[in-house]
Amino acid sequence: MSSSLSSETRVESGRETESDTVPGPILLLGAPGVGKGTQAKELVKYWNIPQISTGDLLRANVAEGTKLGIAAKEIMARGELVPDSLVDEMVAARLLEPDTARGYILDGFPRTLGQANWLDGRLAAQIEALPVVAVSIQVVYNQLLRRITGRRNCPVCQTIYNVYMRPPQREGICDVEGAELVQRADDTEEVFKERMRAYEALTRPVVEHYRALGRFAEVDGDRPIPEIAAGIVSAVERLRQPA
Ligand code: AMP
């Protein structure tokens, strides 16, 4: 956990320890580029629970050439959503891993009402499982466009740069590894627009679903990373308090 998140959270909660809340399943929601992946990594450090990113799991399947990867590859390249049945099955397998016992951070799932209903049903059937709490990260459209189209990754150490906001010292080269930076195939403006369309049509109803259930909070994503993370932590702790 970053020290700023730690100290800020202590100030907010007045606690000596990092957190005594059992986090349970936490769902990070938000449009492409709001920083779900970045925030998930902060929360992993804070609660010591895994990040489950369906985008990362799907990309790994594509890279390995599995049956799922072959089915998903073209769909992902167009910025469309992979069918619920395939994604649900992949998540079900991941949730069987023992590291999910105290909780986990779902990053990029559920993205449709069908996936949300599947997840809620699965958790309701497990007596010991806490229900999902959902936190939506808000960032305005033009800012998202710059974040997505400017994003470059180091293929070796996975450091994420942005050509507009966090450029490397030498153009196109990782500061740490000296490797040539790469752009995700779906981080172009054209594919971004399709991903935003899919978000508005299919994922916005998921936000409304969890809002209606009262297990929902919104945080402003246009702030320094530790401040956003502290906002998510306090939202989750509030949502986990007994009614
Ligand atoms: P992400 O890295 O979360 O932006 O996901 C990259 C791509 O993977 C998306 O544009 C979709 O094609 C696919 N994908 C990731 N998560 C899901 C999901 N929950 N349901 C369907 N498709 C998904």
pLDDT digits (tens, 9 = 90+) for 173-203: 999 999 999 998 889 999 999 999 999 999 9
Ligand 1 atom closest to Cα of residue 56: 2
pLDDT digits (tens, 9 = 90+) for 77-86: 998 999 999 9
DSSP state of 180: B
Domains of the chain with bracketed CATH? 9-140+204-239 (3.40.50.300), 151-186 (no CATH)
Ligand 1 neighbour 1 (Cβ under 6 A): no
pLDDT at position 18 is 52
Count CB neighbours of 17 within 10 A.
7
pLDDT digits (tens, 9 = 90+) for 202-230: 999 999 999 999 999 999 999 999 999 99
Ligand 1 neighbour 174 (Cβ under 6 A): no
Active site residues: 36, 111, 151, 184, 195
| Residue 57 near residue 37 (C-beta atoms within 8 A) | no
For residue 61, CA distances in Å to 65, 83, 90 come to 6, 15, 10
| Residue 25 near residue 106 (C-beta atoms within 8 A) | yes
pLDDT at position 5 is 57
**Which segments of the chain have a pLDDT < 70?**
1-19
For residue 43, CA distances in Å to 147, 218, 233 come to 21, 16, 8
Instruction: Tell me the percentage of the chain whose pLDDT exceeds 90.
Output: 82
Ligand 1 atom closest to Cα of residue 83: 21
pLDDT at position 28 is 96
Count CB neighbours of 21 within 10 A.
17
Ligand 1 pocket test: which of 38, 58, 90, 149 has the largest number of ligand atoms within 8 Å of its C-beta? 58
